[in-house]
Amino acid sequence: MGTASRELGPLVEAVAAELRARRAYLNLGLRELADRARLPHPTVSKSLNGKRVIDVEELGRLAHALEIGPDVIMRDALANLKKRGFEIASYIPSLNNADAADLRRFGVKPRLSVVPHADTDLHSVDLSNDIDLAATEDGSHIDPSRGES
């Protein structure tokens, strides 16, 4: 999927800024970072300049090459957005407005039996029973490899 088909928003720039800061801290050249991450130089250049969406695999490779966890990159990027007064919840579309096309775009294939009516306010739906389908009433887990049910 090319960059043109994805929205490049403030989170992309915030993640890129964190990656650039870490690269500068380690005094790594762009080519050295690309080599360490085993990614093409143009990909790393565009990613660090906020010109393309960084997928999870690339973020993992870049973070590893920068000797830091991808979770730290994301945490710091989100914290910096929040410091600037930007709330990520306002950027990500509400599930109340999600339709089948949105769900497909995010790789979610809902079961028809659990798709609520379009007028349902999803913020008020109790999903506590749907979260861990393998848990029993006492909180223990079913081991499918042992044939438990």
Q: Minimal CA–CA distance to 66: which of 120, 18, 104, 118?
A: 18
For residue 146 the two structure tokens come to: 């042992």
Q: Is the pLDDT of residue 64 over 70?
A: yes
- Please give the structure tokens belonging to residue 44: 């790393």
Please say if the pLDDT value at position 1 is more than 50. Answer: no
Total-model pTM = 0.58
Q: Write out the two tokens for 126.
A: 């109790």
The SS3 of residue 9 is coil
Residue 50 · residue 16 · CB < 8 Å:
yes
Sketch the domain layout of the chain as residue ranges: 3-89, 95-149
- What is the overall mean pLDDT for the chain? 75
Write out the two tokens for 101: 């096309």
Distance CA 33, CA 61 (A): 10
Q: What's the CATH architecture for 3-89?
A: Orthogonal Bundle (1.10)
Residues 28-39 pLDDT 10s? 999 999 999 999
Other Cβ atoms within 10 Å of 50 Cβ, number = 20
